[in-house]
Structure 1
Amino acid sequence: MFEWLGELTRQTLSLDTDIHISDRNELIIENCRRIEECNEVFMRFLAGSIYVNIHGSGLRAYDFRTGALVVRGCIDRLEFEERRVKHGPENKTVCEDKCQRKRAE
């Protein structure tokens, strides 16, 4: 019923992740929360509720302090993984819980 309010809140607080790709040479990730791993051939970032894995060569990260991260280099592959957060005594993940509620509706 109040799904629109949750969406409006996410947009207002910039909790959604936007990814902009320019050819294979530049990637801009907005709402990047944390750098997990960073070297010239592999980078892993937490952005919103997903992990972004970048494979390539000559990769370099710029402008992390602006709330967006710019990655430049030769980008070969992008992978996205859901962030699994354990909660409760049953150790269900947040994603599993949301999916089950949607199915029930």
Structure 2
Amino acid sequence: MAEASADNLKTVLLNDQHVALGGRMVPFSGYSLPVQYPTGIIAEHKWCREHAGLFDVSHMGPSFLVLDEKSGDGEADHAAVAALVEPLICGDIRALKPGQVRYT
């Protein structure tokens, strides 16, 4: 698969934060993503082990589910989709609000 040129790379929602923190941005799967920060990978690893880390996965395959027949009631439709998806994954889909996502 050919890599996208630097001129047409997509960016993730946290792109401005990655850049502001000095992330070394590289092309990956059509996105501009950070691979390292100025402190180095060992310091980053230790910090995450002692505190907490946030891994930006917004570039990983978004999915959109649409019911064949909608009831017209957004909450009922959401519950119907959640009932189909939740047995397949280890995440609470029903608790999501419109516009939210969950990595599972």
The TM tier, using the shorter chain, reads under 0.3
TM-score by length of 1: 0.27
Rg (Cα) greater in structure: 2
The structure whose RCO (Cα within 8 Å, separation 6+) is larger is 1
Larger helix share, 1 or 2: 2
TM-score by length of 2: 0.27
